Amino acid sequence: MTAAPDHIAGHTVHMRRGAVANSFGYSVDYVLIDPEARTGPRLFSRNGFNLVSVRDRHHGGPRGAGRGVAWAREVLEGHGLDTGRTRILLLTQPAFLGRVFNPVSFWLAMAGDELRAVIAEVDNTFAERHCYLCHKPGFAPIGPADRLTSRKVFHVSPFQKVAGEYAFNFLIAPDRIAIRIWHRNGDEGVIATLSGPRAPLTDRTILTTVLLRRPFGALRTVALIYWQALKLKLKGAKYTTRPTPPAEEVS
């Protein structure tokens, strides 16, 4: 891996299971960055305004008051990972003209080309955040066939209860990324996937893909979320009142 950021021309699919079925898929742009590096194309900035950017305050800790990779290292070290020999990368949707909303970003702890841990940073549309730490015993290497589970404790969709568990699968390869998250709650739940090829992030990519093909960044993401919520409401899905978020920051 290089310090320069990568672009993932991703595709995400969501499939709702249970009494009210629904599915959709759309294209989405992610970047994979080394948060401790400052390299990148002219139209991409770290901690500054640009056409696309990633800022520390948007990640690692409370929304809008994040501490970036320093926070991720503290979490991983607090759970027993030696981060002195670990490189931490951030997989996220970048801000577009300073505007950003990420349903989920991923802190990736890498030892060489081996994935050792993931912090899934989940945001909802109520300005709340919770993080799920995923790793195997002893922080053994994580392969694409490994299923890592965590109890669901955070409200994301008003049409899904805070119950059941998540099952995560991760493929972080030099040329491709594929992530699968399965929320299982009896016969109900959601399967969400994100996949796409990795390629260097360039000014040409930003102009042709991010700006022309999928403009407006965060506004587009939020609009798609509310559009799907409307469809579920019209199909008769039961609305669940938002509960109090968990007191702990990471589970």
Tokens found for residue 176: 């491709």
Q: Kindly report which listed range (38-42, 59-63, 212-216) carries the lowest average pLDDT score.
A: 212-216
CA 65 centroid distance within chain: 18
pLDDT digits (tens, 9 = 90+) for 172-184: 999 999 999 999 9
Token digits for 154?
């955070």
Instruction: Find out whether 120 and 104 touch, Cβ atoms under 8 Å.
Output: yes
d(CA 47, CA 3) in angstroms, rounded, equals: 16
Structure tokens at 53: 């950017």
Tell me the torsion sign for CA atoms 88, 69, 178, 250: positive
Collapsing DSSP to helix, strand or coil, 242 comes out as: coil
Half-sphere exposure in the Cβ direction for 237 (13 Å, CA): 23
Place of tokens 């249970």: 18
Domain boundaries, the chain: 6-235
Mean of pLDDT values over 88-101:
92
pLDDT at 24 over 70: yes
Q: Where are the alpha helices (DSSP H) in 44-117?
A: 69-78
Is the pLDDT reported for residue 237 higher than 60? yes
The yes-or-no verdict on residue 166 having pLDDT over 90 is yes
Residue 5 confidence (pLDDT) above 50: yes
